[in-house]
């Protein structure tokens, strides 16, 4: 059995508990053991990097050091923000000895040597598990459900680090969805920003972003949007819920929700009630829920 380090991040313990549950169910079916980094801490998200560069490195470095100490050389961070912060911290420390020294001084007696490979969930599914392996384990097909793959901004914008997928037109999630028997539609907003943390502090500024994303999905005839980022899910789902009258709302699912259905994972009825826009109608229409 394959083993990989797991960094759930704060969202997956609260607002995105359902994402955490479906990830565990899916990886269990795929025969991958997720070993959670013991005593991991918050990555600092946007709040650290907009206020203090060293803090934005030191917070992820603590968790990276713990991962390294536990012998977890591959670390899966399902949240795009966590992934971005952990990856950038790891790579900047690897490439700059003086910087690594300053960060390590701030986290002492912990020490990060730079041996951890930070991975996002699409990278792990496509390159570690592999689409043929996923296909071989499917118990049902998704009946041509018309979906749009919403990647959000940070997943492939890894700056000076080669991305795992194209940074303007990624395909990995579309390929997985096609393998599940869904119909991933080409659309224009797959990399558009949902507003991130400003969705909470300056809602007025980010509403237009969520509206454009939903409109683009509606324009190509999508029945549901699929994402791997808890912040994208929350921002778009909550916007759709608050603006039901605009007739652009649609369910925003995690990729692992659909993978779970196709792999025959047991996801409880309450699982689907975590979303603001109820996805059970779409699932029933395709005979994917009894």
Partner 1 sequence: MEQGSAIRTDKVLQGAGFSRWLKEASGEDVFRCYQCLKCSTGCPMAEAMDILPHQVIRMAQLGRGEELLHSETIWVCVSCYTCSIRCPNDIHIAHVMDALRERALKEGIPPKRERVVLFHQLFLASIREYGRVYEAKLLAKYEAKSGELMKNIPLGVAMFLKGKIALLPHKVANIKGVRETFTRLEEGEEG
Residues that bind partner 1 (CB under 8 A): 10, 13-17, 39-42, 44-56, 58-59, 62, 105-107, 109-110, 153-154, 157, 159-160, 167-168, 191-193, 195-198, 200-202, 205-206, 208-209, 238, 241-242, 270, 273-274, 276
If the CB atoms of residues 108 and 247 are measured against partner 1, the closer one turns out to be: 108
Copy the structure tokens of residue 154. 């940070």
If the CB atoms of residues 15 and 171 are measured against partner 1, the closer one turns out to be: 15
Distances (CA, A) of 8 to 76, 216, 257: 8, 30, 16
If the CB atoms of residues 191 and 282 are measured against partner 1, the closer one turns out to be: 191
Instruction: Kindly state the smallest distance separating residue 44's Cβ from partner 1, in Å.
Output: 7
If the CB atoms of residues 41 and 139 are measured against partner 1, the closer one turns out to be: 41
Instruction: Kindly state the smallest distance separating residue 101's Cβ from partner 1, in Å.
Output: 13
Q: Where are the beta strands (DSSP E) in 11-77?
A: 32-36, 74-76
Under 8 Å between Cβ of 227 and 147? no
Q: How far apart are CA 67 and CA 111, in angstroms?
A: 11
If the CB atoms of residues 30 and 59 are measured against partner 1, the closer one turns out to be: 59
Instruction: Kindly state the smallest distance separating residue 128's Cβ from partner 1, in Å.
Output: 25
104 CB-near residues (< 8 Å, 6+ apart): 61, 110, 111, 112
Do the strands 117-119 and 74-76 form a parallel or antiparallel pair, or are they unpaired?
A: parallel
Instruction: Kindly state the smallest distance separating residue 84's Cβ from partner 1, in Å.
Output: 8
Evaluate the CA torsion angle 281, 142, 260, 152 in order and state its sign.
negative
Give one DSSP letter per residue of 224-261, joined into a string.
EEEES-HHHHHHHHHHHHHTGGGS----EEEHHHHHHH
- Terminal-to-terminal C-alpha distance of the chain: 32
Instruction: Kindly state the smallest distance separating residue 198's Cβ from partner 1, in Å.
Output: 5
Copy the structure tokens of residue 5. 């380090």
Instruction: Kindly state the smallest distance separating residue 163's Cβ from partner 1, in Å.
Output: 9
If the CB atoms of residues 17 and 140 are measured against partner 1, the closer one turns out to be: 17
Instruction: Kindly state the smallest distance separating residue 13's Cβ from partner 1, in Å.
Output: 6
CA 184 to chain centre: 18
Do the strands 2-6 and 74-76 form a parallel or antiparallel pair, or are they unpaired?
A: parallel
If the CB atoms of residues 59 and 182 are measured against partner 1, the closer one turns out to be: 59
């Amino acid at each position: 059995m394959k083993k990989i380090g797991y960094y759930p991040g704060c969202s997956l313990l609260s607002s995105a508990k359902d994402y955490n549950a479906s990830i565990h169910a899916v990886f269990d079916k795929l025969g991958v053991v997720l070993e959670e980094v013991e005593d991991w801490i918050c990555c600092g998200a946007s709040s650290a990097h907009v206020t203090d560069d060293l803090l934005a490195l030191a917070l992820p470095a603590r968790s990276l050091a713990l991962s390294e100490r536990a012998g977890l050389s591959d670390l899966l961070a399902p949240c795009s923000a966590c992934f971005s912060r952990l990856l950038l911290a790891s790579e900047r420390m690897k490439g700059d000895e003086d910087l690594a020294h300053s960060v390590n001084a701030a986290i002492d007696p912990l020490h990060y040597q730079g041996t951890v490979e930070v991975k996002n969930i699409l990278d792990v599914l496509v390159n570690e598990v592999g689409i043929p392996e996923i296909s071989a384990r499917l118990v049902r097909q998704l009946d041509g459900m018309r979906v749009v793959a919403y990647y959000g901004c940070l997943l492939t914008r890894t700056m000076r680090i080669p991305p795992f997928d194209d940074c303007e037109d990624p395909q990995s999630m579309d390929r997985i969805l096609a393998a599940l028997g869904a119909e991933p539609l080409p659309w224009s907003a797959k990399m558009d920003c949902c507003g991130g943390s400003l969705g909470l502090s300056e809602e007025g500024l980010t509403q237009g972003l969520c509206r454009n994303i939903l409109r683009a999905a509606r324009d190509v005839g999508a029945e549901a949007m699929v994402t791997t980022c808890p912040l994208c899910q929350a921002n778009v789902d909550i916007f759709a819920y608050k603006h039901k009258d605009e007739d652009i709302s649609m369910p925003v699912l995690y990729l692992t929700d659909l993978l779970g259905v196709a792999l025959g994972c047991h996801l409880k009825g309450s699982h689907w009630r975590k979303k603001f826009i109820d996805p059970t109608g779409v699932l029933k229409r395709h005979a994917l829920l009894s």
